[in-house]
Structure 1
Amino acid sequence: MPTAYADLDEASQVEVLREVALLAAPAFGLHAAAAELVLHGFNTTFRLDTHAGAVAMRVNTNSMSSIANVEAQQAWQHALRRDTDVIVPDPLPAAEGGYVALVHSAALDREVVVTASSWLAGEDLGTLSTPEQARALGALAARLHTHAEQWEPEGHGRFPRFASTLFGDPDLLTAAVAGDDGLRDLVTEAWERCERVFARWAAQPAIPLHADLHGGNLKWHEGHLAVFDFDDSGLGVPALDLAICAFYLRGGEDEGVLEDALREGYAAVRPLPDVARADHEALVAARQLLLANSLLASTTANQRSEAEAYLRITGDRLRHWLGTGHFTRAVPAG
């Protein structure tokens, strides 16, 4: 009996997905003999060198996005490329229309969503470590929000709505922490606090958000910040995007300096969202719950191996937030 995809080692998973990427190439009018791995994470990205130049092909291995969601995300990305000076890869249209190709994978036992885009030049940013970088990220987020407000809503109805802590994803956390009373109580209290904040913001106007603005989705390109990976995009309030940015800036001695720079960069382009400090901290902490839940949902080998340890980290960080009112990723193990 064949080994289930989730039980394959990382190298074997990559080979399964490489085949999917190569099979998808003709759907975008591309021909490539090889697909070079870029990242095997929650989703998996390959670089294809084709007659049309380098192409980034993303195989939606674990994505919770529906086809309609993906089409909306790609349409917004294309509109940003068309309408603004924000540097983003341009999605490639599929030959049959839209931006999506479906490839059946026997190993995954389902049809897999694949997208393709122009290759984004520049160096991967990784961790944002300087005020200059954080300020550039704030300005980038503000430009995204300004465009999102003005963009003719050709895809708004197809975006998911971020109305709760897990963004509508299935809840795997509750069962995962059920056997540990201390961790269960921390997760429950944190979740309830986050849900109250999401409920308070539910009536506010929602716009498309990138919802995953961190160094892993950014590049420096000709002296400017470039952004990619719109797979988490959906409708929400601008304050949520800034809280997600802040989550990834928290964790070092200079986290306050970096977050101040983030806000300065944003305010230089558009007014900052008016949000109470406690609500902001809850939205930052909500990211921790979402990531822990996503790791539990992942079939990717290295992420599956990290899920249990990440639950412990989650408990330590939530305990600190609930006790101090400030969320940080730099918490000693409890």
Structure 2
Amino acid sequence: MARYADLDAESQIALLRPVAATGAMLLGLEVAAITPVHHGYNTTFRVRTSERLDFAVRVLTNSLSTPPELEAQHAWMHALARETTVLVPNPVTGPDGASCAVVEDEALERPFTVVAATWLAGEDIGEPSLQQTHELGVTMATMHNHATGWSPADGDLLPIFDEPLFGDEDLLASLTEKDLPDGGAQVLEAAFERAQLAFDEAFRSDPLVVHGDLHGGNLKWHLDELAVFDFDDSGFGTAALDLAISTFYLRDEFEGAEAGLRQGYMAMRDLPDLDPEVFEALIASRQLLLANALLASSTASLRADAQNYLLISIARLQHWLSTGRFTRTL
């Protein structure tokens, strides 16, 4: 049988469906129906229980989050729900008190971790409006204000984001000349070095827990309210890093998008005091992380896009190195 990573998307989802169903049952959910909703970095299914309640059940297909890290992620979500106005899903705790389940399947080469949370009403934002960018700024600042006084309990771990790849294996550095256009290796090396200097500078501020992935795909909008989900990339970073990540996705999206984010943030909290060139490097560093993540992915569609995205990444990074401004419009 072909390796999981070599299968097409439909075949991968078919193999993961029973994994999600088993994981949901181990977490105490009585599964009446299960429907795939997203097959990307991780794979999410919508589970309807026998009590007609809906849950998001996620199979960690590419995530490297460990059970202690998942416990810390869920602890922060619970704290945000109790102590702030931020709307987040409620993580499911299994009968044994664990917030994740590990499922083995003979058809797969390795065990998969499964987590579940209550289903959020509304639609994924995708490309946000000006109102939504403002609300994202408000929500992010509220989360940062909360994080200044919150940290995981003893035994709970979260990664430290003090370098551009967030601790992932650097697959970009191992690419050969045949994988890259002329000068591509030099662009990646120069971009990484400049980005690392920015991380060093930004990390002079006290680190706090950040979401690490606040973009339209991890936000929902319902009755004019914003909700945040997918805390899988949470870790100790800087407030500027969260802002830079969101700015990466908003860059050149529409006029006023970035200003809306900043204005919403400033309504709740001062902007980080950081040199604009350093902040721009934090924005560009997201390109390095995403290109590297695609090279490591086992998801069919992401693997298919990896080489083309690498070339796009080099062009964008070259433009940033040459002009000082990062853009995704190239």
Give the TM-score of the pair, scaled to structure 1: 0.94
Q: Give the aligned partner of residue 154 of structure 1.
A: 153
Secondary structure in structure 2 of the residue aligned to 1:110: coil
**Cα distance in structure 1, aligned partners of 2:184 and 2:201:** 26
Secondary structure in structure 2 of the residue aligned to 1:102: strand
* TM superposition shift of 1:156: 8.6
CA contact (8 A) 1:99 1:115 kept: yes
Please state if 1:182 is matched with 2:193.
no
Equivalent residue runs for 1:65-214 within 5 Å: 65-128=65-128, 130-151=129-150, 153-154=152-153, 158-176=157-175, 178-179=177-178, 180=180, 181-214=182-215
Q: Give the aligned partner of residue 320 of structure 1.
A: 319
CA contact (8 A) 1:163 1:199 kept: yes
**Cα distance in structure 1, aligned partners of 2:154 and 2:267:** 28
1:239/1:156 CA distance change after superposition, 3 Å: farther
Q: Give CA-to-partner distance per residue, 1:116-155, whole Å, 9 cap, x none.
A: 0011001111112x32111111111101111111225326
Please state if 1:28 is matched with 2:27.
yes
CA contact (8 A) 1:156 1:208 kept: no
RMSD, aligned CA? 1.5
Secondary structure in structure 2 of the residue aligned to 1:158: coil
**Cα distance in structure 1, aligned partners of 2:325 and 2:262:** 17
The one-letter code matched in structure 2 to 1:39 is H
**Cα distance in structure 1, aligned partners of 2:270 and 2:50:** 45
The one-letter code matched in structure 2 to 1:248 is Y
- Count of residues paired in the alignment: 327
CA contact (8 A) 2:72 2:152 kept: no
Q: Give CA-to-partner distance per residue, 1:191-228, whole Å, 9 cap, x none.
A: 00001111223343111111100000111122111110
Equivalent residue runs for 1:33-52 within 5 Å: 33-52=32-51
**Cα distance in structure 2, aligned partners of 1:155 and 1:172:** 33
CA contact (8 A) 2:39 2:299 kept: yes
CA contact (8 A) 1:4 1:107 kept: no
**Cα distance in structure 1, aligned partners of 2:98 and 2:301:** 32
Secondary structure in structure 1 of the residue aligned to 2:184: helix
* TM superposition shift of 1:80: 1.2
The one-letter code matched in structure 1 to 2:318 is R
**Cα distance in structure 2, aligned partners of 1:155 and 1:99:** 16
Deviates more, 1:216-225 or 1:98-107: 98-107
Please state if 1:54 is matched with 2:54.
yes
Q: Give the aligned partner of residue 298 of structure 1.
A: 297
The one-letter code matched in structure 2 to 1:293 is N
**Cα distance in structure 1, aligned partners of 2:286 and 2:92:** 30
**Cα distance in structure 2, aligned partners of 1:232 and 1:77:** 13
The one-letter code matched in structure 2 to 1:82 is R
CA contact (8 A) 2:32 2:50 kept: no
Deviates more, 1:320-329 or 1:73-82: 73-82
CA contact (8 A) 1:75 1:155 kept: no
Deviates more, 1:243-252 or 1:99-108: 99-108
**Cα distance in structure 1, aligned partners of 2:272 and 2:122:** 31
**Cα distance in structure 2, aligned partners of 1:30 and 1:119:** 13
**Cα distance in structure 2, aligned partners of 1:210 and 1:204:** 17
CA contact (8 A) 2:201 2:278 kept: no
**Cα distance in structure 1, aligned partners of 2:135 and 2:56:** 24
Please state if 1:233 is matched with 2:234.
yes
**Cα distance in structure 2, aligned partners of 1:29 and 1:65:** 21
* TM superposition shift of 1:278: 0.4
Identity of aligned residues (%): 49
Deviates more, 1:302-311 or 1:202-211: 202-211
Q: Give CA-to-partner distance per residue, 1:138-193, whole Å, 9 cap, x none.
A: 11110111111122532695000001000000111112354334111111100000
1:98/1:18 CA distance change after superposition, 3 Å: same
* TM superposition shift of 1:253: 5.2
Where structure 1 has 5 or more consecutive residues not aligned to the other structure, the ranges are none
Deviates more, 1:106-115 or 1:36-45: 106-115
The one-letter code matched in structure 1 to 2:130 is P
Q: Give the aligned partner of residue 277 of structure 1.
A: 276
CA contact (8 A) 1:72 1:155 kept: no
The one-letter code matched in structure 2 to 1:60 is L
The one-letter code matched in structure 2 to 1:106 is E
CA contact (8 A) 2:24 2:114 kept: no
Secondary structure in structure 1 of the residue aligned to 2:301: helix
